[in-house]
Amino acid sequence: MKQRVIAVLNQKGGVGKTTTAYNLAFAIASMRKRVLAIDLDPQSHMAVSLGLMQNNLSGIDDVILDGAEVTSYIINQREYLDLLPAGFRLSEVEKLSIKSRQQAIIIRDALAAIKGRYDYIILDCPPMSGLLNFNALFASDEVIVPVSSDYLALHGLSQLMKTLKSTQRFMQKPMKTWIALTRFGTRRRLSREVLARVMHYFPKQVLATPIRECAPVAESPSFGLSVLEYDAQCNGAKDYRSLADDIINCRTFKA
């Protein structure tokens, strides 16, 4: 099976990047695919959400700043699920501006050392850093853009989709771009409108399962659990299992 590297990316904060990255990573791992989750956000919310509380850890920060090997920082979290933490120096990296192509391919090159070891590598991206997001894009074959369906922000989304297209030309490699609807309210008019609009503009890229707004999804991180472990029967757990299927089978929304 070919390894798939997927960045969960959106420059907007609070759209469900971290929530999607770690629940999707867990859901795919529970389907017995080997998954590595990489926490690229200096706030380390993905690690915390999976129950990793130490704040003096090193991880991808050492890889970027010192050229360290990724293998020594990978921590097993669950069956089939490993984590590469952000590391406490990643906030230093976040502040660096990007000056050369070389700085943008550090993570891509570092991942070559573990090629074939995982079926899926999922990166949780920070909202702002150019250097970290470029590194994520260079390392990835695919991007998931979470779009919060409680907020009509199609302007920012079109801009981001354009940027992702031009970045592909710059990187000289194709990259599949998916949209995942998050915080969806089945009965909420605004949510249905967001769905209709993203379908209109990006008809082939919207993943089949909108993730419904669901209290256990918001509660589970403080217990260090994925929503699938915290409340296996809730809508959020069902939706993230279904989203994992969408990703595995490249299944998009049909109007």
Ligand X SMILES: Nc1ncnc2c1ncn2[C@@H]1O[C@H](COP(=O)(O)OP(=O)(O)O)[C@@H](O)[C@H]1O
Query: Of ligand X, Mg ion, none, which one does residue 64 interact with (CB within 5 to 8 Å by kind)?
Result: none
User: Nearer to ligand X by C-beta: 15 or 34?
Assistant: 15
Query: What letter represents residue 98's amino acid?
Result: I
Does 7 contact ligand X by CB under 6 A?
no
Cα–Cα distance, 44 to 217 (Å, whole number): 18
Residue 136 and residue 12 in contact, taking contact as beta carbons nearer than 8 Å:
no
User: In the bound complex, what is the minimum distance in angstroms from residue 32's beta carbon to Mg ion?
Assistant: 27
Residue 240 and residue 211 in contact, taking contact as beta carbons nearer than 8 Å:
yes
Does 183 contact Mg ion by CB under 5 A?
no
Of residues 122 through 161, those in contact with Mg ion by CB under 5 A are: none
**Binding residue (CB under 6 A) for ligand X from 4, 5, 6, 19:** 19
Helices (H), the chain: 17-29, 45-49, 60-66, 90-95, 101-104, 106-111, 130-139, 154-171, 189-201, 215-219, 227-230, 235-249
User: Nearer to ligand X by C-beta: 111 or 214?
Assistant: 214
Cα–Cα distance, 122 to 83 (Å, whole number): 10
One symbol per residue from 225 to 244: x for binding ligand X (CB under 6 A), - otherwise; what is it? -----------x--------
Residue 177 and residue 9 in contact, taking contact as beta carbons nearer than 8 Å:
no
Residue 179 and residue 145 in contact, taking contact as beta carbons nearer than 8 Å:
yes
How many whole angstroms from its chain centre is CA 35? 12
DSSP 32: T
**Binding residue (CB under 6 A) for ligand X from 4, 17, 33, 34:** 17
Residue 87 and residue 130 in contact, taking contact as beta carbons nearer than 8 Å:
no
Q: What is the dihedral of CA 191, 194, 197, 202, to 10 degrees?
A: -110
User: Nearer to ligand X by C-beta: 59 or 221?
Assistant: 221
User: In the bound complex, what is the minimum distance in angstroms from residue 68's beta carbon to ligand X?
Assistant: 26
Does 17 contact Mg ion by CB under 5 A?
yes
Return the range that interacts with Mg ion (CB under 5 A); candidates 10-18, 27-35, 81-89, 140-148. Answer: 10-18
Does 218 contact ligand X by CB under 6 A?
yes
Does 222 contact ligand X by CB under 6 A?
no
Output the six-digit token pair for 197: 């609009």
Of residues 45 through 74, those in contact with ligand X by CB under 6 A are: 45
User: Nearer to ligand X by C-beta: 183 or 241?
Assistant: 183
**Binding residue (CB under 5 A) for Mg ion from 4, 11, 15, 18:** 18
Give the binding site for Mg ion (CB under 5 A).
Answer: 17-18
Q: Which residues sit at the interface with ligand X, rule CB under 6 A?
A: 13-19, 45, 182-183, 211, 213-214, 217-218, 236
